[in-house]
């Protein structure tokens, strides 16, 4: 590879691209401020445990995608693959759990060693909002509304569809996990190697597989809705009622999952057909278990 070429999966933002990039970040920053979100910045790299502990040692992100290395002091360091874990670490490290609720905004580069393709880079940029310390479904509605407002201001909301799902509470997820293990266990021979591994550690991730064989098997899985308890149903009904009240259209998407155990209740994505395979423009959800996994107090969050 010629030394004067950019590293595969990275790009130079020349003036025209940089102007567009700045417009997106500045628009998000201004709208987040209107909603009371304060801007913070976390380091581009963290101790690896900040990501590996909550994301999980067996997930694709940790196993295949993280840029991890030992620095000259022998510490294991990772370039951040996503924002939320580092933001929660910053809240714990700085003793901010005494000042809940917290509303933070951030913008910056992320790093994942994925296969480069249209719309996917190894160094990419994200805008991020986190609402920490509010357990009620109104927080989920606010974060989705904020996302919709950013897309509207950028002139692209009408080119996206909001997909919405519930992951239920911890009890509902455990019941559904058992059902998935039972179902996929009967069809293990038809699953990809990655999904057979996921079956043992995180069967929900199989539903998100892009492998055609996995998708055919997944077509027959039992519905998550059958395993939601009354509390989870009530929470999701309140999220939907809030979006209906605001006039935010959405499409229920039972296949929209978050495989990590700290996610719960609301999962959402604004998707488009105008970007090829990488159709997700903006997404998020509720993660009430994350702060505890990082060693902090039990604190709800959505972002």
Residues 161 and 186 in one domain: no
Rounded average pLDDT over 188-193: 88
In terms of domains, do 248 and 289 share one? Answer: yes
Task: Indicate if 130 and 190 belong to the same structural domain.
Answer: no
Do 290 and 216 belong to one domain? no
Q: Are residues 121 and 61 in the same domain?
A: yes
Partners of 270 in the beta sheet? 162, 282
Instruction: Verify that 160 and 111 share a domain, yes or no.
Output: yes
1 assigned to some structural domain:
no
As for how many domains the chain has, the answer is: 2
- Asked if residue 7 is part of any domain, the answer here is no
On whether residue 74 sits in a domain, the answer given is yes
- Are 152 and 249 members of one domain? yes
Helix H, strand E, coil C: the string for the chain is CCCCCCCCCCCCCCHHHHHHHHHHHHHHHHHHHHCCCEECCCCCEEECHHHHHHHCCCCHHHHHHCCEEECCCCCEEEECCCCHHHHHHHHHHCCHHHHCCEEEEEEEEEECCCCCECCECCEEEEEEEEEECCCCHHHHHHHHHHHHHHHHHCCCHHHCEEEEEECCCHHHHHHHHHHHHHHHHHCHHHCCHHHHHHHHHCHHHHHHCCCHHHHHHHCCCCCHHHHCCHHHHHHHHHHHHHHHHHCCCCEECCCCCCCCCCCEEEEEEEECCCCCCCCEEEEEEECCCHHHHCCCCCCCEEC
| The two three-digit tokens of residue 143, written as one number | 């974060």
Instruction: Count CB neighbours of 93 within 10 A.
Output: 13
Question: Which domain covers residue 200, as residue numbers?
Answer: 172-224
Residue that is last in its domain, among 191, 224, 257: 224
Read off the pLDDT of residues 10-34 as tens digits, 9 standing for 90 and up. Answer: 899 999 999 999 999 999 999 999 9
> pLDDT digit string (tens) for 153-174?
999 999 999 999 999 998 998 8
Which comes out higher in pLDDT, residue 276 or 92? 92
Task: Find the CATH number of the domain harbouring 129.
Answer: 3.30.930.10
Q: Which of 211-215, 229-233, 277-281 has the highest mean pLDDT?
A: 229-233
Residue 220 lies in a domain: yes
Based on the fold, state whether residues 164 and 69 are members of the same structural domain. Answer: yes
Indicate if 162 and 218 belong to the same structural domain.
no
Q: Within this chain, do residues 198 and 248 fall inside the same structural domain, yes or no?
A: no
Question: Residues 204, 247: one domain?
Answer: no
Residue 3 within a domain: no
174 preceded by cis ω (within 30°)? no
**What digits encode the pLDDT tens for the residues 74-111?**
999 999 999 999 999 999 999 999 999 999 999 999 99
């Amino acid at each position: 590879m010629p030394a004067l070429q950019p590293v595969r999966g990275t790009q130079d933002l020349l003036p025209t691209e940089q102007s567009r990039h700045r417009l997106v970040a500045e628009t998000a920053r201004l709208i987040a401020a209107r909603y009371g979100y304060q801007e913070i910045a976390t380091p581009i790299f963290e101790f690896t445990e900040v990501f590996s502990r909550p994301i999980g040692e067996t997930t694709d992100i940790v196993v295949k995608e993280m840029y991890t290395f030992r620095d000259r002091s022998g510490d294991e360091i990772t370039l951040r693959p996503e924002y939320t874990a580092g933001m929660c670490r910053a809240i714990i490290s700085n003793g901010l759990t005494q000042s809940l609720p917290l509303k933070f905004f951030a913008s910056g580069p992320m790093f994942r060693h994925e296969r480069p393709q249209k719309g996917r880079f190894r160094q990419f940029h994200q805008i991020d909002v986190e609402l920490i310390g509010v357990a009620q479904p109104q927080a989920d509605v606010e974060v989705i509304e904020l996302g919709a407002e950013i897309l509207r201001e950028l002139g692209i909301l009408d080119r996206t569809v909001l997909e919405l799902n519930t992951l239920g509470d911890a009890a509902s997820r455990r019941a559904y996990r058992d059902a998935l293990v039972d179902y996929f266990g009967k069809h293990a021979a038809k699953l990809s190697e990655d999904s057979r591994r996921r079956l043992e550690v995180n069967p929900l991730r199989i539903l998100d597989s892009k492998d055609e064989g996995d998708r055919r098997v997944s077509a027959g899985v039992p519905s998550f809705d059958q395993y939601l308890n009354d509390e989870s149903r009530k929470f999701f009904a309140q999220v939907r009622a809030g979006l209906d009240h605001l006039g935010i259209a959405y499409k229920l998407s039972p296949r929209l999952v978050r495989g990590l155990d700290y996610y719960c209740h609301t999962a959402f994505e604004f998707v488009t057909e105008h970007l090829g395979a990488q159709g997700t423009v903006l997404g998020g959800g509720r993660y009430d278990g994350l702060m505890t996994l990082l060693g902090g107090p039990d604190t709800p969050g959505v972002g």
